[in-house]
Amino acid sequence: MLNGQIAHSYLENSCTLLIPRPPALNQSSKWHQPAAAAAASSSASEELCQGAGVVEAEALHVDRIRNCDIFVDAHDLYFYADVKLYKFHSRRTFDLRELKTLLIRFNTTENHYQICLRCLPLSAGAQEGTGGERGGGGGTGDTAKLWSGRKEYIATFLHLPTLTDATSAHLPDKEHLVQEWKLKRITDQCQLQLDGHERTYKLTNNFGYGYASEYSGPLDASEMISQLDRATCRVSEPHRMSPIQRRQERVVDEMKRFSREQYKINFVELQVPSGHQNPLRYKPKIYETSMTQEQAHLLHNISRKLTREQQPCDVFRQNEIDCGLISILLAICYDVRTTNNEPTCESGWTRSILCPLYCYFEQFDNYRDVLIAFLRRMITYPLYRNFELGRQCVRDAIEVLKGGRNWLINQLLLTHQQFASGDPSRDSFNSYYLEDYIRYVTSPSACSDEHMRLLARNLKNVLMDVNKQHLGLGVTEIETELIKELMQEMRIDAGSDGSSPQQHGHGDDELDLETDTSGQEDETTTDDDSVITDSFDSMDMDMRLIENEIVYEDDEEDEDGDEDDDEDGDGDEDDDDSSSSTSSEAEGNSVIEQCSNSETAASTSTK
């Protein structure tokens, strides 16, 4: 869906919106001139009023004017006109209490819709909400707001940019977050009036779907009966639902089916069966691929089919095609990673349930919405519901877009086979999407390698900006709640096991203290022994010095005997380092006696 801008003005308690009608994708130049559009619209209105026959193109032009879908809430309005979505956020609160019929005027000369919505009156001195259209600021009171409203009305009348538009253009702020699933659809309450004529018309619903929205009208009857998987595809009449309504249906279904408990289980640890590899650790081999003979034959048949008439490839159409390709690729990457590239009987269901194109015929116009939709469905439907696993699948898709064209073609053909041969059959997905995308990817002129690398870069940039809060399922709050529960369980377990270990702990501490005390005593005794031994060693040294001074030549034999005794004493000291103090004292006394005997002998020889 392509977003458009809405011109608005406030006057007292009313808000007037001017919505330009978008040109047709396949007739962008045919009704581009206002004069031609006015002539066609006037002739078409005459045909509607008078019942006269007119040109078929003019009737189609009027049908396109009536092809609208409208959603509204207190501050927001979504207006889907044929192929384009217009969003408006009001700083005033809409008065929807008595809204029974909404009149929409269409001016064929200026080629735009005009809608007038009532607003609730302002209280004295109160500010007007939290911002204007696309983040405009509020005022300080009734006077300031009325003056601001007059200036905006004059600027709209003179086709000048308003202050809000200029501010938003130079100072881009955060886009107002709208809970689209809360918007109320009021299409059935709207009446269309052409150029002020008295007759009014109901709005019609005939929207495109499929590859690049090229398909229109009801699905084929045979496909409705045998080829449409109602358990997977939630939209049986896509032409009756606008793209915004399809997206609203998807968001509501995901919110209903999202399981908090299942997400908690997968957040702690993936429940991987025994004998299977953890999907988070799998490394896909995108550069190693081979095509079977059956797949080659299928590719040949698809390429030979007559394609639909090619439309001019404008920015809108190209963007929708690329977003659809990324959505299909993300679902394939999840199945390949979780099955280790060994398809199972559930692979067809997995690849279809994770892709909103198949389930809701949804249209995307930006990569951010594609990524958020995939992550929401990934944590809602399949077996492994883990946010980090989804991000890893996105990284796999980026690597495929960088240089895995052959791998991508092979996987698209495999998906085609799974849809065609599965039970229930999903062959309608092949008809409206896969076959066209296979032709698109295999065409180097339509989808070049450089273009695929550009998609990879854009997808990588978007992945960096998307977080859990963007999913809108309260994932961050669930994880915080789970962490608190685990911490509480740990505290309870610690408290229950804390009483008995404390009693046993006191006895163990006493034993440890006794052991430490005994060890200290042993160390003290050893130190004392070493001190005593050292003291007697020093005494022996002194005695040896004395012997050297008093010994003479005549006492060589006595000196030799003394030295032998001393050597024996040294040997005894070496052997008895760890002996008691009593033996050390006896040894000292023997040395002293030897010294006295030597002195007596010396005196006798002198005489």
H/E run at residue 106:
strand 102-107
| pLDDT bracket for residue 364 (50, 70, 90) | very high
Q: What is the reported pLDDT for 175? A: 57
Cis ω for the linkage preceding 22 (within 30 of 0)? no
- Residue 374 · residue 331 · CB < 8 Å: yes
What percent of the chain clears pLDDT 70, i.e. is strictly above it? 63
* Virtual torsion, Cα 580, 582, 584, 587, nearest 10 deg: -140
- Residue 9 · residue 159 · CB < 8 Å: no
Angle, in degrees to the nearest 10, between helices 499-550 and 581-606: 0
Q: Minimum mean pLDDT among 193-197, 412-416, 441-445: which range? A: 193-197
**What letter would DSSP give residue 219?**
P
Provide φ and ψ at 499, rounded to 5°: -75, -55
Q: Minimum mean pLDDT among 214-228, 366-380, 478-492, 534-548: which range? A: 534-548
SS (H, E, C) 480-514: HHHHHHHHHHHHHHHHHCCHHHHHHHHHHHHHHHH
Burial 450-461 (b: 16+ CB within 10 A, else e): eebeebbebbbe
Q: What is the reported pLDDT for 63? A: 82
What percent of the chain clears pLDDT 90, i.e. is strictly above it? 44
pLDDT for residue 29 is more than 60 = no
pLDDT tens for residues 391-425? Answer: 999 999 999 999 889 999 999 999 999 999 887 78
Give me the domains of the chain, ranges plus CATH numbers: 1-21+65-121+179-205 (2.60.40), 241-477 (no CATH)
Q: Please give the Cα distance from 596 to 594 (Å, whole number).
A: 5
Tokens of 356: 């909103």
Q: Please give the Cα distance from 226 to 20 (Å, whole number).
A: 41
| pLDDT bracket for residue 207 (50, 70, 90) | very high
Range of 429-433, 560-564, 601-605 with top mean pLDDT = 429-433
**What letter would DSSP give residue 93?**
P
Tokens of 463: 């992945």
Per the listing, tokens 């005994």 go with 518
Query: Nearest-5° angle of CA 510, CA 511, CA 514?
Result: 90
